[in-house]
Amino acid sequence: MQSLILGGARSGKSRYAETLAQQSGREVIYIATATAQDAEMQSRIAHHQANRPAHWQTIEEPLALATCLQQHAAPGRLLLVDCLTLWLTNLLCAEDVSRLQQETTQLLQCLPELSGDIIFVSNEVGLGVIPLGELTRRYVDEAGRLHQQLAAQMQRVVFMVAGLPHVLKGSAIS
Give the number of residues written for the chain: 174
Q: What is d(CA 84, CA 87) in angstroms, rounded to the nearest whole number?
A: 5
Q: What is d(CA 137, CA 145) in angstroms, rounded to the nearest whole number?
A: 12
Q: Which amino acid is at 29?
A: I
Q: What is d(CA 160, CA 5) in angstroms, rounded to the nearest whole number?
A: 7
CB 77 within 8 A of CB 27: yes
Q: Which of 47, 48, 55, 166 is catalytic?
A: 48
- Per-residue burial over 100-137, b if 16 or more Cβ lie within 10 Å, else e, is beebbebbeeebeebebbbbbbbbbbeeeeeeeeeeee
Residue in 145, 30, 28 with CA at minimum distance from that of residue 85: 145
Q: Is 72 a catalytic residue?
A: no
Residues involved in catalysis:
48
